[in-house]
Structures are given as structure tokens and as C-alpha cells.
């Protein structure tokens, strides 16, 4: 019985892999992992933007990615990369790289109307 090695996408965990065994061969059926499907949940960028809009609704917000990562469901590295994108694209927010002491501190406030 031969078993094929999983490809890179399967090893990365972005797919659930189901191995079907028969008496004479092994076949593989792969389906997209529902947790990564964008149609089922908001994108990471949207999730972060909504979080920041809520937290900064009453004024400015200062934070380090590592302190909000669990609450947002993203890694600090993902948050840092998304903050750079949001700084340029989120018209509802003013995003500023405020300081750096062992990690970047971000300053966010609602954009002026």
C-alpha cells in the first residue's frame, strides 16, 4: 500500500486531510478548512479594524500588538503587518507608529470627519 506525502498546503494546516483506505489502495480527499474560508468570517484586516474602531471610539488608543493579540485572535506579527496596511487604507482611523521600546507602540484614534 503506497501513501503519498502531503503537499505544502496540506502540511501548513490550511486543509483538513482525510485519508480513505481501501483494501488495494490509499486515496486522499482534501477539503478547505472552514476556519480559513473568508466567506464564513470577516478577514483578519476587517476583524482588527473593527476591534480598533470599538476601542478607540471614545478617543485615542495606545497599544502593543502582543497585548491585544489573543483578544483579536491574531499573532503579534500579523497585527504589525496589518497595522501598516490600515495606516494607509483605513479612512475611519488615524494610525500612527508612536514609539518603539521592545516592541512597536501604536497610536490609533477615530479619523476626523
Fold of 44-110: Arc Repressor Mutant, subunit A (1.10.10)
Mean pLDDT for the chain?
Answer: 75
Domain ranges across the chain: 44-110
Output b/e per residue, 37-67; b: 16+ Cβ within 10 A.
eeeeeeebbeebbebbeeebeeeebebbbee
pTM score, whole prediction: 0.61
- Residue 66 — very low, low, confident or very high, per pLDDT cuts 50/70/90? very high
The rounded Cα 91 to chain-centroid distance in angstroms is: 20
Residue range 4-55, pLDDT digits in tens:
555 554 454 444 433 333 344 444 444 445 444 445 678 999 999 999 999 9
- Choice among 5-14, 63-72, 74-83, 89-98 with the minimum mean pLDDT: 5-14
Amino acid at each position: 500500500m503506497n501513501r503519498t506525502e502531503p503537499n505544502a498546503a496540506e502540511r501548513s494546516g490550511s486543509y483538513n486531510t482525510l485519508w480513505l483506505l481501501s483494501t488495494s489502495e490509499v486515496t486522499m480527499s482534501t477539503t478547505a478548512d472552514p476556519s480559513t474560508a473568508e466567506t464564513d468570517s470577516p478577514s483578519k484586516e476587517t476583524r482588527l479594524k473593527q476591534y480598533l474602531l470599538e476601542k478607540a471610539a471614545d478617543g485615542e488608543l495606545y497599544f502593543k500588538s502582543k497585548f491585544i493579540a489573543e483578544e483579536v485572535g491574531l499573532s503579534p506579527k500579523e497585527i504589525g503587518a496589518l497595522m501598516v496596511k490600515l495606516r494607509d487604507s483605513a479612512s475611519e482611523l488615524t494610525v500612527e507608529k508612536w514609539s518603539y521600546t521592545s516592541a512597536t507602540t501604536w497610536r490609533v484614534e477615530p479619523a476626523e470627519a
